[in-house]
Structure 1
Amino acid sequence: MSTLAPGPAPVDAPRPPVSVVVPRTLDEALALLASDGTAVLGGGVGHTLARHHRTPVPGTLVSVTGLPGLSSIRQEDDRIVVGAGTTLASCAASDALTRAWPVVAEACGVVATGRIRRLVTIGGNIAARDDTHDPPVALTAAGATLRVRGANGTRTLAVDGLAGPDGLRPGELIESVVLPPRDPKHGRTGSAYRKFLARGVWEYACVHVAATVTLAGDGSAARLTLAVGSVEGGPVAVGLSPLLGRPVDTGLIDEAAHTAAAETRPYDDVKGSAAYKTHMIEEFSRRALTEAAHRARNTEHRQEEDR
């Protein structure tokens, strides 16, 4: 299975033909993807953009749209499983995600435009391995994992490990995204996503941050996560373990936000300088953590409503 090759073709070069194969089962799709010159076709947005910019694409696209089990959001025991073929619009509108992991629903709901969100699949958005994409940042903060299927079976992969040496192998595809229980044994959990657009219109994020806060019974931090995108190697999970056990107050949130700015490496681009983005990472980390902590404190009320 190929990935999209870098480097556009000359503007006057003809676009090579591309064939689309529609398998009936996931096993049939995996058999097709075992051949060279093939790639997964989900919503088709990435491939359409690649052809528009005359970036070479594989000659055979294997459509996974509509395959059984790939386009659902379901409960498995105490976890939420999102099929890789589920659109971002469906994720954003999901009551299950909004209640358990609002950070994920929020991130899916701010991608591009409504029309694009109705096409883009969550699996395709993750597999693109683009540090400016929204959902991978939120999923990293939530501690989500990926179920990856290939000819040799199923394995589990961390979202932020997709681009590493243990990432997607030839012939594999993302089958589903698995989100952990909302409230682990420690206590109450809240989450939030915050995104900064340099020009105030839909575009790739200048800075985006996802946060989760789990409160122990005494109100101290039992679990803290921050994930930052639009940085080198993103999404980057920020190490906050030294802050655990302390009250979740303004002082803790300020320290966590400062750590996020210090541990990430933004880059210069048209949306801003690295120095400017470092400042914005600290500010938006503070905002995301503040909202996540507020939601964690109100979790008990929401649980009573659920019952």
Structure 2
Amino acid sequence: MTLSEARTSTALTPANPWAMVPPLGNLDAYITAANRLPMLTLDEEQRFARQLREDNNLEAAGRLVLSHLRLVVSISRQYLGYGLPHGDLIQEGNIGLMKAVRRFDPDQGVRLVSYAMHWIKAEIHEYILKNWRMVKVATTKAQRKLFFNLRSMKQEFKAEAENAETYRETLSEHEIDAMAEQLKVKREEVMEMETRMSGGDVLLDPAPSDDGEQSFGPISYLSDAAYEPTRVIESRQRDTLATQGIATALQELDERSRRIVEERWLNVNDDGSGGMTLHDLAAEYGVSAERIRQIEVAAMKKMKKALVQYA
């Protein structure tokens, strides 16, 4: 073998298996390279898996991962209809593949491709559920199963329809019953998941438009200041001052001053009008209206001082 041939042979089989993967940033080049990577034979797969398990050989792990990158690409294509980037789906699937390689037992009698499919799909499912909407649409195991089966079954119903162009996206009663029976869930759960999937994210407080005007959003009619913590505390303090606080402040006044304040501000007639006037009180006590006003002002100042101390 000549020196040139040796260099060519070394370039085709690099010591570092990860060198066969193209640089990040070009998804098409990555997919092309992943599909060109050689598949492992059963003996090679068994040997690399034992090297990883017994000796923690990372190069062996790299060989196992690289040979199954095309599997991740293939599985990720099944989830392109959820509107998430293909590159992100592949990335999450690769995480699942690496978890499968770490846990793979070559003595179980199954190929890595069969074992890894579960882990790849599990990571992609979790990514979709977290990023498909701002609010997670499925939390329980039954809801997750329903979420991923609902869309595929709707596609089947659409394909079976005589006229796919006029097919209604909204599920009919017959389709709801068929889904509930096939997935072994209640029809109410199918209807609820259909409602969740058909709805979209709505910004509570939209950003201003290009012309600088504030856009109208749900925050305009959903906010309730009555339950805002600061408002609740302030309301309780006002109620306390209006009852116990005023009662305490009135005790600081002499009998005449207390009656003038009560008749002027606290006693309300049945028709909603106020109590006695300055002239009415002046006639009762045999003094001028100006004297009643002076007594009232002095009493108010004394009560205000008492309320400040009470608060």
The TM tier, using the shorter chain, reads under 0.3
Could you state the TM-score of these two structures normalised by the residue count of structure 2? 0.27
Give the structure with the higher percent helix. 2
Could you state the TM-score of these two structures normalised by the residue count of structure 1? 0.27
| Largest Rg, 1 or 2 | 2
